[in-house]
Structure 1
Amino acid sequence: MHLASLSAGKTFITDVARRRQTIGTVHTLGALHLGHAELIRRAAAENDVAIVTVYPNKIQLSPGPEYEFNLEDDIALALGAGASAVISTTDAEMFPPGYRTFVSQGDYPLRASGPHGLLKEGVTGCIRWICFVRPTRSYFGLKDIGQALLVKQAVADLLLDCEIRFVPTVRYRNGVPISSRLRHFNRFELDELSSLSMALNHLRKEVATGVSCAQDLIDSAKPLITFGQFELESIRILSADSFEDQEQIELPFIISGVAVGHGIRVPDNIYVPDQDTLLHGPADIWIDLPERWECDFQAQCRPG
């Protein structure tokens, strides 16, 4: 079911609430892929109703070309993965004249994503959708761990009755986390990006052996990144509680790296919340690379 406005969505949500059914939500900017599909599957499996929202949040997206997404493809993927309904909307509905309310979390969003990030705007968008849908549970991928942790904190601070569920990162078997950004790159560039993922995992393994100086760890990881078409923007080790850069490694922490190619930032993260994850690695979900990358990237994301 596709609900093409907030008013249509509200009618559906009110009916679900009347029937006292649980709701799981997945909130997206559009351009859905297999990472989103995993979130949707979990929302559908753990709730009576799974709702996917599709809206390219204009306050979150960087200025530049129009965000690329195909609503029909997104609806097909969401419903194929188990969604009960897809709610889409427009700038006119989401940001009418006079809109002025944003979720403020001090400088935490800036610490988490750096000066190029727009986490304040991303968190604001997610919280607005959670207030609108009133889900029992809302699902966020660990690929975007900074946003996931900040949304969880905002939900707690605002006393919203919603459980935030984290879902493991979906990665290609070469290590690269699947992302809508990948549609801009060819298979050779994708293989090149894999060296960033391997370097971050190397860093985790070094911490597990007892290395604790963050700068030594970062210095040991950088030579493993063999970029030609990309540039390395940053490698960081952050506290998962404060988002401050760590000097001596303490749990919980985030290993973060950002590559830049063709003017597009491609982030990767490893969230290490506990000793088990440190020793054995995160519970990532691995999928095969498409045989014909350029033609098949979008096709693989549609239900067969």
Structure 2
Amino acid sequence: MKIIETVAELRAWSREARRSEKATGKIVGLVPTMGALHEGHLSLVRAAKTDCQAVVVSIFVNPTQFGPNEDFSKYPRTFDADCALLATEGVDAVFAPQPQEIYQPAAATFVEVEGLSERLDGASRPGHFRGVATVVSKLFIAAEPDRAYFGQKDGAQVAVLRRMTADLLLPVELVVSPIVRESDGLAMSSRNRYLSPEERTQALVLSRSLETMQKAITAGERDSEALIATARASLATEPEVRIDYIAAVDWGTLLPVEKVVPGNLFAIAAWVGSTRLIDNFIVG
């Protein structure tokens, strides 16, 4: 497995993969990550390995998507362990740049998806999606992938990146994989390691609340306000969990819907102790 640290080297690696005698169909797959890998990340790697002939995983804790009081400095960095996992999965290359490789001194260009970037997580974390869109566009330009793989857990991020990719005419297909959960239902996240044992138990209320909405939809409820009220009642069973948002939205626009239809996104964000967690499901 090759460790790549510069954009020039990554681009050369990608183009060499295309010149290979085996290069047919979908050749280069990119899995963008911030490291601290778990089974959710590995599910994306396996999807990429199934689809593509050469797979690169980026490991870069992107400073521009963290707010002033967020957890950039303490975000888990487990590079050696991550590389061991990726080698076991048969990944071809890891892109692990330094910040100055991605953000040149005095860089003044950023990518912002107007409208979508201010909704859901964007409303709670101003500037977050500008940082995400900027770094992902840079990764697309550097790696020149045919496909890029993201997890459904970051549902609002997926909507932003779909719009960005379409608007910028980027020749990359976005592939979205289902949420991977622990055996008790908690959505896998690198931030789960912040939780104390008590907080870990409290955090299960997020997935339970989504389940109550899913059951209500199955029983015939379609009014979004009624469904959100059901989720709030469920979340109230853990009074230490602080709601950031509960929303029923169109997955393309992230705008609220009055009546839910298949394809809509139900999303929750909440604070468990000092850790902000997100979860969601897609109707239908």
Indicate conservation of the 8 Å contact 2:203/2:272, yes or no.
Answer: no
User: TM-score, normalized by length of structure 1?
Assistant: 0.84
Check if 1:52 corresponds to 2:57.
Answer: yes
Which residue number corresponds to residue 32 of structure 1? 37
Indicate conservation of the 8 Å contact 2:4/2:95, yes or no.
Answer: yes
CA distance in 2, matches of 1:51, 1:183: 25
Check if 1:113 corresponds to 2:121.
Answer: yes
CA distance in 1, matches of 2:279, 2:124: 15
Which residue number corresponds to residue 214 of structure 1? 224
Shift of 1:228: 4.7
Amino acid across the alignment from 1:159: L
Which residue number corresponds to residue 99 of structure 1? 107
Indicate conservation of the 8 Å contact 2:249/2:264, yes or no.
Answer: yes
Indicate conservation of the 8 Å contact 2:113/2:133, yes or no.
Answer: no
Check if 1:252 corresponds to 2:276.
Answer: no
Shift of 1:155: 1.6
Indicate conservation of the 8 Å contact 1:145/1:271, yes or no.
Answer: no
Indicate conservation of the 8 Å contact 1:6/1:88, yes or no.
Answer: no
Amino acid across the alignment from 2:50: A
5 Å matches for 1:60-99? 60-64=65-69, 65=71, 66=73, 67-99=75-107
5 Å matches for 1:224-263? 224-225=234-235, 226-263=237-274
Runs of 4 or more above 6 Å deviation: none
Output one character per residue of 1:56-97: Cα deviation in whole Å (capped at 9) or x when no partner: 111012334513212112211222223111011011111112
Check if 1:183 corresponds to 2:193.
Answer: yes
Which residue number corresponds to residue 15 of structure 1? 16
CA distance in 1, matches of 2:53, 2:230: 48
Check if 1:123 corresponds to 2:128.
Answer: no
CA distance in 2, matches of 1:263, 1:92: 30
Deviates most, 34-43 or 66-75:
66-75
Indicate conservation of the 8 Å contact 1:174/1:191, yes or no.
Answer: no
Which residue number corresponds to residue 42 of structure 1? 47
Which residue number corresponds to residue 301 of structure 1? none
* 1:154 paired residue among 164, 176, 198: 164
Shift of 1:215: 1.5
Indicate conservation of the 8 Å contact 2:45/2:91, yes or no.
Answer: yes
Count residues in correspondence.
273
User: Kindly, what percent of the aligned residue pairs are identical?
Assistant: 26
Output one character per residue of 1:237-280: Cα deviation in whole Å (capped at 9) or x when no partner: 111122112222234311111120333211111123xxxxx2xx
Shift of 1:164: 0.9
CA distance in 2, matches of 1:271, 1:125: 26
CA distance in 1, matches of 2:239, 2:82: 33
CA distance in 2, matches of 1:90, 1:81: 24
Cα RMSD for the two superposed structures: 1.8
User: TM-score, normalized by length of structure 2?
Assistant: 0.90
Structure 2 residues without counterparts, runs of 5 or longer: none
Amino acid across the alignment from 2:267: S
CA distance in 1, matches of 2:107, 2:241: 38
CA distance in 1, matches of 2:195, 2:84: 24
3-state DSSP of counterpart to 2:101? helix
Shift of 1:110: 1.3
3-state DSSP of counterpart to 1:171? coil
Amino acid across the alignment from 1:58: P
Indicate conservation of the 8 Å contact 1:41/1:82, yes or no.
Answer: no
Which residue number corresponds to residue 282 of structure 1? none
